Structure 1
Amino acid sequence: MTSPIDGPAPEETPTRTKRRGFAIDTTPLRVPAYRRLFGGITVTMLGQQMTLVAVPYQVYAITGSSLLVGVTSVVALVPLVVFGLLGGAIADAMDRRRLMLITSIGAAVTSALLAVQAGLGMRSLAVLWVLTALVSAFSAVNQPTRSAAIPAIVGAELVPAANALAMTVRQIGVIAGPLLAGVLIGQGELFLTYVVDAVGFAVAVLLVRGLPPLPVAGAAAKLRLGAAVRGVGEGFTFLRTQPVLLMTFVVDIIAMLFAWPQAVFPQLAATEFSGDANSLGWLYAGISLGSLVMGLTSGWVSRVDRQGAVVLGAIAVWGVAIIGFGFAGSLWFAVLCLAVAGAGDMVSAVLRSSMLQLAAPDDMRGRMQGVFIVVVAGGPRLGDLRAGALASAFGVSVAMWTGGVVIVVAMAVVAVAVPSFWLFRASRAARTT
């Protein structure tokens, strides 16, 4: 079992308080190194979400084309996929503190350049696309590196609680970032929107500098930076031999492919809920609101031992909630169903990430987290394609409830077909890492 880095003396190592409440478990914040890592997540998440709003806005302001706004999403997705995989391999080949420093500096500089081009009033789509691709690439390397470092920093017992804290603050950013960006953009302050992102990464650099070295056990013998591509292949070879790890990706792809609902929000807002001018905003906020509430009450999640079984249950809850969403006849019930779905997704995400961190050896954690980032980013986009096509052909209700049914059935099949996933226990995995 790994032990916390830069924490108290061994006899004072933080352990989870034996409580039964639902409040989010803050025990990992007792570890100084994790406080720095968590602080970096906190200061960057708001700005990142603001940039995700500012870039499409600026592309549309320049071109007047929704198609080119969509192309911009692809421009961001391609480096996210490529560098998410390569970044995971690199994170298994070098000191993770150093890699987090490099990528945070790169993201800060790139965000500053976005602010400069906005401040100068540039109207170059090419410049925007290049900077967007760079931001995506730095983020794709930084995120799996940061996640792969968590077990070494807090110890195996506190991994689920540490993930819950990180994912909860991300949900706050997902909700607050677009709102603040909308206010600033509405006041003509596109420049300041990007500045917030640049400043956040600059602060993150200072926090990461205070971390201890985070070397990877066995990395020097197994990987070199020049062999990153081969490292990606080794990661997939390893993944094929690990059914539990493989299924953490499979079940999420199933959930996102068959029930990601965002593609139908504009149609619902314009038809079913056209009487409410704020319906579109509420629909987009629904999943994040549920995720945030679950994050704030996730104390029980961090104590789960049967993680595989709870993941399957949480995804089944997601599927049932989407079935309800498909039959929703009012805005409030639709948002409630989305919130329930978001709560289920939050539980699934926290535990799946923890399973990856606990069941994978240290010199594979970066690559596993890289695949995790790619799946999390790509699944909803495939889901949008499916939902949009079915909604156009058969209506929103059919697109949603059929997907929900598929998910519930699929989780039952996984439980029977892959018993190692259903029976996975965090306590056993921790003893073997």
Structure 2
Amino acid sequence: MTAHTSTEALAEGRAPGRRSLRPLGGVLAAMAVSSTGTRISAVALPWFVLVTTGSTTRTGLVAFCEMVPYVLVKALTGPLVDRAGPRSVSWVSDVVSAIAVGMVPLLHSLHALSFWLLLVLVAVVGTARGPGDLAKEVMVPEAAERASIPLERAAGLAGVTERLASTVGPAIGSSAVAFFGPLTALTANALCFVLGSAVVMLTLPRRGHASPAPSLSARPADSGYWRRFGDGFRFLRTEPLFLIVVVTICVTNFLDAALTTLLIPTWARESGNGPSAIGLTSSVLGFAAVGGSLIAAAAVHRMRRRVVFFAGFLLAGAPRFLVLAADVPMWAVPTVFAVSGFGVGFLNPILGAITFERVPRPLLGRVTALADALAWAGIPLGGLVAGAAVTSFGLTAVLLAGGAAHFLTTALSALRPEWRGMDTPRGREALKT
């Protein structure tokens, strides 16, 4: 754990040596409100495009135009987050996101929102969200140190926060869409981004004071952008566990994006269940994932990570595709999503703890950015490919193929020897020596 000087502690309004929960609370609160807004948009925006255009291909194109800049910009802004500080990047990104999302209902009310202008606005949102999400993730380990809690627990709390957002956001989004229309839900999304920006500015210190790792201390403070960017790639190349994680998550994220952005809304429309079914499935999955994340936050440091991780992975993926493809009563769908959600809850806390353990603090922004961007590289294509596939082959065939692909990816990846490193954690101090 990094020590702080008395001057720094007093500057932050706390006594030397006393833990401070305020930064961790601020990070988690900012993650909560921003992620909730994003989940609201995930219901409202596809439904808005579906009901106004009737095109699954255009719906997939909207998701594509948001996620491509999200992934690309997130990959490139790691050195910026490490250099400028995650606090500034976070609140500025949320302000830009709020403005871009708020323009959608405003321009539509003025009859000035063409489909191509909508694509530009969602691309701006994706461009801003990438650095903003990265910055909040990077702030977690230092906030955990200030609060004097284990990294596994901090990662678990971040996972719980994300899952709560995944629960509350779709519920708010589907209710707002059902009662007030999708544009009202998008306005709520913009307000969430504004609130997230305010939380970061009011609760977090202006700059962190983490000590640099000795192995990197020789790097000049003003070294060039591409040189600092290359540090992240060099670190990733030395970590085979990180590489296999990235490849596996990339494939499953592609399939999950197809499910959430296109296949579930299409199923809700074709089945006659409407937008409330989207919110129900997402909320049930989110509530169950919160339970899994709470257990992970309390006990993940005592678990055999690899066994728990792949058990959760198998529950989280294929069952959701298959239940939507089957002709089952409506009550069976949220039941299966609840089981999948419980498995989902264990994934990110384990991955977050591994990242915080293995990545030196000065490299955290750029390594996390590259790993996340590579793992998310398939997400922009998920809705786009799914929309074209549904048009060509029908919803049921695409759901069955997606479920089979998810199961095979998880099962085959589990056979790789690199995953054994998941159960041999290395602390941050070991990396600095």
What TM-score, normalized to structure 1? Answer: 0.77
Compute the RMSD of aligned alpha carbons: 4.0
Contact 2:258 2:382 in 1 (8 A): yes
| Deviation digits for residues 227-256 of structure 1 (CA, Å, limit 9, x no counterpart) | 2x5544432232011123223323323544
> Structure 1 residues 264 and 138 mapped into 2: Cα distance closer, same or farther (>3 Å)?
closer
Give 1:85 shift: 0.3
Equivalent residue for 1:314?
312
> Structure 1 residues 219 and 282 mapped into 2: Cα distance closer, same or farther (>3 Å)?
farther
> Structure 1 residues 165 and 157 mapped into 2: Cα distance closer, same or farther (>3 Å)?
closer
Distance 2:160 2:419 in 1: 30
Which consecutive residues of structure 2, in runs of 5 or more, have no partner in the other structure?
none
Q: 2:288 aligns with which of 280, 287, 290?
A: 290
> Structure 1 residues 381 and 304 mapped into 2: Cα distance closer, same or farther (>3 Å)?
farther
Equivalent residue for 1:172?
164
Structure 1 position 116 matched with structure 2 position 116: no
Distance 2:38 2:247 in 1: 27
Contact 1:151 1:358 in 2 (8 A): no
Equivalent residue for 1:18?
none
Structure 1 position 197 matched with structure 2 position 189: yes
> Structure 1 residues 267 and 105 mapped into 2: Cα distance closer, same or farther (>3 Å)?
closer
> Structure 1 residues 268 and 46 mapped into 2: Cα distance closer, same or farther (>3 Å)?
closer
Matches within 5 A, 1:59-70: 59-60=49-50, 63-70=53-60
| Deviation digits for residues 286-332 of structure 1 (CA, Å, limit 9, x no counterpart) | 54343133234444344346545543443244468569859977344
Contact 1:109 1:198 in 2 (8 A): yes
Equivalent residue for 1:134?
124
The one-letter amino acid of 1:196's match is: A
Distance 1:64 1:398 in 2: 24
> Structure 1 residues 409 and 132 mapped into 2: Cα distance closer, same or farther (>3 Å)?
closer
Structure 1 position 214 matched with structure 2 position 208: yes
Structure 1 stretch displaced more, 389-398 or 351-360: 389-398
Structure 1 stretch displaced more, 237-246 or 392-401: 392-401
Give 1:353 shift: 1.9
Equivalent residue for 2:242?
245
The one-letter amino acid of 1:247's match is: I
Give 1:395 shift: 7.4
The one-letter amino acid of 2:22's match is: P
Structure 1 position 338 matched with structure 2 position 337: yes
Structure 1 stretch displaced more, 287-296 or 186-195: 186-195
> Structure 1 residues 232 and 337 mapped into 2: Cα distance closer, same or farther (>3 Å)?
farther
Contact 1:253 1:379 in 2 (8 A): yes
Equivalent residue for 2:403?
400
| Deviation digits for residues 9-49 of structure 1 (CA, Å, limit 9, x no counterpart) | 56543xxxxxxxxxxxxxxxx61111111221222222222
Structure 1 position 97 matched with structure 2 position 87: yes
| Deviation digits for residues 165-198 of structure 1 (CA, Å, limit 9, x no counterpart) | 2332333333332333343344455554333233
Distance 2:137 2:256 in 1: 26
Structure 1 position 144 matched with structure 2 position 134: yes
Structure 1 stretch displaced more, 217-226 or 77-86: 217-226
| Deviation digits for residues 39-90 of structure 1 (CA, Å, limit 9, x no counterpart) | 2122222222223333334444554433222211111011111111012221
The one-letter amino acid of 1:290's match is: A
Q: Give the secondary-structure state (helix, strand or coil) at the position aligned to 2:424.
A: coil
Matches within 5 A, 1:351-430: 351-375=350-374, 377-379=376-378, 385=385, 396-397=399-400, 400-401=403-404, 403-411=406-414, 413-414=415-416, 417-418=417-418, 421-425=421-425, 428-429=427-428
| Deviation digits for residues 186-240 of structure 1 (CA, Å, limit 9, x no counterpart) | 445555433323332222233222311126746994575972x554443223201
Distance 2:43 2:333 in 1: 24
> Structure 1 residues 220 and 335 mapped into 2: Cα distance closer, same or farther (>3 Å)?
farther
Q: Give the secondary-structure state (helix, strand or coil) at the position aligned to 1:418.
A: helix
Distance 1:215 1:190 in 2: 43
Structure 1 stretch displaced more, 54-63 or 152-161: 54-63
Equivalenced residue count is 410
Give 1:333 shift: 4.5
> Structure 1 residues 183 and 257 mapped into 2: Cα distance closer, same or farther (>3 Å)?
closer
Contact 2:32 2:164 in 1 (8 A): no
Distance 2:325 2:46 in 1: 32
Q: Give the secondary-structure state (helix, strand or coil) at the position aligned to 2:77.
A: helix
Contact 1:94 1:215 in 2 (8 A): no
Contact 2:254 2:376 in 1 (8 A): no
Structure 1 position 235 matched with structure 2 position 232: yes
Distance 1:59 1:318 in 2: 28
| Deviation digits for residues 369-414 of structure 1 (CA, Å, limit 9, x no counterpart) | 2234335544456667589799879675565256425522431x12
> Structure 1 residues 181 and 318 mapped into 2: Cα distance closer, same or farther (>3 Å)?
closer
The one-letter amino acid of 2:144's match is: V
> Structure 1 residues 3 and 325 mapped into 2: Cα distance closer, same or farther (>3 Å)?
farther
Distance 1:282 1:36 in 2: 29
Distance 1:206 1:267 in 2: 36
What TM-score, normalized to structure 2? Answer: 0.77
Give 1:146 shift: 1.3
> Structure 1 residues 200 and 222 mapped into 2: Cα distance closer, same or farther (>3 Å)?
farther
Distance 2:78 2:244 in 1: 19
Distance 1:391 1:60 in 2: 16
Contact 2:39 2:170 in 1 (8 A): yes
Contact 1:247 1:421 in 2 (8 A): no
